[in-house]
């Protein structure tokens, strides 16, 4: 058993600031009171502890209260990605079979779910008290999040209280916890990178500065102003922050502790530019099945091990499965899910206690993990393995290229050949890019075609969807 996180935190630090949103602040006591009131309103609709609630809403202070309210009532929360199409959402509702769907506005989507409530439906109901537990079972399911679905139908991942708490503990032991910590959250709360920040807030007694969406200008304002100490993001967001800092000729203050970058390998050119702006970038590696981080680079190793995702957190283990030095990344630890729901319920995520991630990487002689690419994105050309991320990292070194995506195209002679899609910030010709890449890559790795596009296709977690690139031809 573990303590009721909301109750315990409100008791320990009732007057400490828990949440900042659009200039308004909430203490942990206020968060507790408002979320308990929301839970009582939810309870009055007939929702009981142990029931499953799907939540489809924009990231804001109301969503934080609603999520904590669902936790307080003891419900399993199905976190729906509001960026998905109606058909995708209908599949996840059908697959997860929640007892109710909670939305911020009834007009938001016409999903036709039988039991549907809006925030207003809950706020204006007569409240019905319920027994507030002092302790929660560590096996209790807190959240259900669907995977990105990069290789087929997304799977609903069960994330227990133990998964979340052990991940937050491992992160704290690695990064440290400081009394004035404030985590800038611009990633969506429906994603594990966003929700894990809320869990850390309760566990550490840490302030969260919440933004509904990512805006590089406002993020830089807040960081340079010294208001926040940590942030989670993906590589494309880092590049936009760097561009703003460079355009303003500004530097990050020493009070800023760490910028955790996940969601895939980070181009070395981004890391080198970050060093120039005094940004302590820590590349991290994790996934929905691991309730966020599994490995994170230490700040003291940021330069010495540039490009590494670091060593496993305290309670995690990583191994490479394969006969060669490079192979599939496998993970073990109490932060790893025990299973899925719905159509994927019979699929066991663990083999002999290890989660096989489908990602390709290697461990160096000191045990640092380097993530190379997704196994499903691997291009095999004439018997040679070509990793799209390696080509993408080379392409973004060109001063005209902002982002790049590489995928494989069928070829009668070679089986597959790489083709590149680039987003540029200034005029450049295909011949210039070809000439540049010849200085960066072996000839067999060079893209056979180049396409200029306005933006790369990304999913709700801002991860590059390489399989969608072929549609731009």
Euclidean distance between CA atoms 142 and 70, whole angstroms: 9
Superfamily of domain covering 165-375 = ANL, N-terminal domain (3.40.50.12780)
Q: What is the pLDDT of residue 21?
A: 97
Average pLDDT, stretch 433-450? 89
Would you list the domain boundaries of the chain?
2-136, 165-375, 378-472
Q: In this structure, what token pair is assigned to residue 140? A: 């209790």
Strand partners, 160: 141
Q: What is the pLDDT of residues 447-471, one digit of tens each?
A: 999 999 999 988 766 778 888 898 8
Q: Which tens digits make up the pLDDT trace of 117-170?
A: 999 999 888 899 999 999 999 999 999 999 865 556 789 999 999 999 999 999
In this chain, the answer to whether the domains covering 2-136 and 378-472 adopt an identical fold is: no
* CA 230 from centroid of its chain's CA atoms: 15
Residue 249 reports pLDDT greater than 90: yes
For 187, the token pair is 């990633």
- Higher-pLDDT residue of 253 and 111 is 253
pLDDT given at position 461? 66
State the virtual CA torsion across 123, 126, 127, 128 in degrees, nearest 10.
-140
How much is the average pLDDT of 398-416?
Answer: 87
Q: Compute CA 245 distance to the chain's CA centroid, rounded to the nearest angstrom.
A: 24
Higher pLDDT, 10 or 385: 10
- Please state the three-class secondary structure of the chain as a single string: CEECHHHHHHHHCCCCEEEEECCEEEEHHHHHHHHHHHHHHHHCCCCCCCCEEEEECCCCHHHHHHHHHHHHHCCEEEECCCCCCHHHHHHHHHHHCCCEEEECCCCCCCCCCCCEEEHHHHHCCCCCCCCCCCEECCCCEEEEEECCCCCCCCCEEEEEHHHHHHHHHHHHHHHCCCCCCEEEECCCCCCHHHHHHHHHHHHHCCEEEECCCCCHHHHHHHHHCCCCCEEEEEHHHHHHHHHHHHHHCCCCCCCCCEEEEECCCCCHHHHHHHHHCCCCEEEEEEEHHHCEEEEECCHHHCCCCCCCCEEECCCCEEEEECCCCCEEEEEECCCCCCCEEHHHCCCCCEECCEEEEEEEEEECCCCCEEEEEEHHHCEEECCEEECHHHHHHHHCCCCCEEEEEEEEEEECCCEEEEEEEEEECCCCCHHHHHHHHHCCCCHHHCCCEEEECCCCCECCCCCECHHHHHHHC
**Interacting residues of 228 by C-beta distance below 8 A, sequence separation 6+:** 182, 183, 184, 209, 222, 256
Residue 97 region by backbone torsions, left for phi larger than 0, else alpha for psi between -120 and 50, else beta = left
Q: What is the pLDDT of residue 149?
A: 56
Instruction: Give the tens place of pLDDT for each residue, 102-115.
Output: 999 877 777 878 88
Could you read off the pLDDT of 263-310 as tens digits, one per residue? Answer: 777 778 888 899 999 999 999 999 899 999 999 998 778 778 888 999
Q: Which residue has the tokens 């590149």?
A: 420
Which of 150-164, 380-394, 426-440: highest mean pLDDT?
426-440
Q: Mean of the per-residue pLDDT values for the chain?
A: 91
**CATH code of the domain occupying 378-472:** 3.30.300.30
Q: Which fold has domain 2-136?
A: Rossmann fold (3.40.50)
Q: 289-309: string of b/e by CB count within 10 Å (b at 16+)?
A: bbbbbbbbbbeeebeebeebb
Q: Between residues 334 and 390, which one has the greater pLDDT?
A: 334
393-406 average pLDDT score: 91
pLDDT, tens digit, 9 for 90 and up, residues 52-72: 999 999 999 999 999 999 999
Q: How far is CA 252 from CA 199, 224, 229, 246, 306, in A?
A: 26, 5, 10, 11, 19
List 92's β-bridge partners, or say none: none
Rounded Cα distance, 176 and 343, in Å: 39
Q: Of 21-25, 129-133, 375-379, which range is least confident?
A: 375-379
What whole-number percentage of the chain has pLDDT above 70?
A: 98
Q: Quick one: tokens of 240?
A: 């936009």
């Amino acid at each position: 058993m573990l303590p009721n996180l909301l109750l315990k935190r409100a008791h320990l630090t009732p007057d400490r600031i828990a949440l900042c949103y659009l200039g308004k602040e909430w203490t942990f006591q206020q968060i507790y009171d408002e979320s308990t009131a929301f839970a009582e309103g939810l309870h009055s609709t007939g929702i009981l502890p142990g029931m499953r609630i799907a939540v489809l809403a924009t990231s804001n202070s109301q969503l934080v209260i609603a999520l904590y309210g669902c936790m307080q009532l003891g419900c399993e929360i199905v976190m729906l990605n509001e960026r998905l199409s109606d058909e995708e959402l209908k599949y996840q509702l059908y697959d997860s079979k929640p007892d109710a769907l909670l939305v911020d506005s009834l007009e938001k989507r016409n999903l036709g779910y039988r039991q549907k409530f809006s925030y207003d439906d809950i706020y204006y109901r007569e409240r019905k008290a319920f027994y507030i537990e002092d302790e929660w079972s560590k096996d209790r399911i807190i959240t259900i999040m669907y995977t990105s679905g990069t290789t087929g139908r997304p799977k609903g991942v069960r994330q227990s209280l133990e998964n979340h708490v052990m991940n937050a503990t491992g992160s704290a032991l690695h990064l440290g916890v400081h009394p004035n910590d404030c985590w800038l959250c611009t990633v969506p709360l429906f994603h594990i990178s966003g929700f894990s920040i809320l869990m850390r807030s309760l566990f550490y007694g840490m302030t969260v500065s919440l933004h509904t969406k990512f805006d590089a200008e406002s993020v830089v304002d807040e960081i340079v102003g010294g208001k926040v100490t940590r942030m989670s993001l993906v590589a494309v967001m880092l590049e936009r922050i760097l561009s703003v800092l460079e355009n303003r000729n500004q530097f990050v203050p020493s009070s800023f502790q760490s910028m955790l970058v996940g969601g895939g390998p980070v181009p070395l050119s981004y890391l080198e530019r970050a060093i120039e702006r005094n940004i302590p970038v820590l590349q991290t590696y994790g996934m929905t099945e691991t309730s966020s981080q599994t490995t994170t680079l230490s700040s003291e190793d940021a330069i010495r091990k540039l490009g590494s995702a670091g060593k496993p957190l305290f309670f995690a283990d990583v191994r490479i499965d394969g006969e060669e030095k490079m192979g599939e990344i496998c993970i073990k630890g109490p932060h790893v899910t025990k299973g899925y729901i719905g159509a994927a319920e019979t699929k066991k995520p663990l083999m002999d206690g290890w989660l096989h991630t489908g990602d390709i990487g290697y461990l160096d002689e000191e045990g640092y993990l380097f993530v190379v690419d997704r196994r499903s994105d691997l291009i095999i050309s004439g018997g040679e393995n070509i990793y799209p991320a390696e080509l993408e990292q080379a392409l973004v070194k060109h001063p005209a290229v902002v982002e790049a995506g590489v995928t494989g195209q069928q070829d009668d002679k070679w089986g597959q050949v790489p083709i590149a899609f680039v987003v540029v910030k200034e005029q450049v010709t295909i011949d210039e890019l070809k000439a540049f890449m010849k200085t960066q890559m072996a000839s067999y790795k060079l893209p056979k075609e180049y396409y200029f596009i306005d933006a790369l296709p990304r999913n709700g977690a801002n991860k590059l969807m390489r399989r969608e690139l072929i549609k731009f031809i």
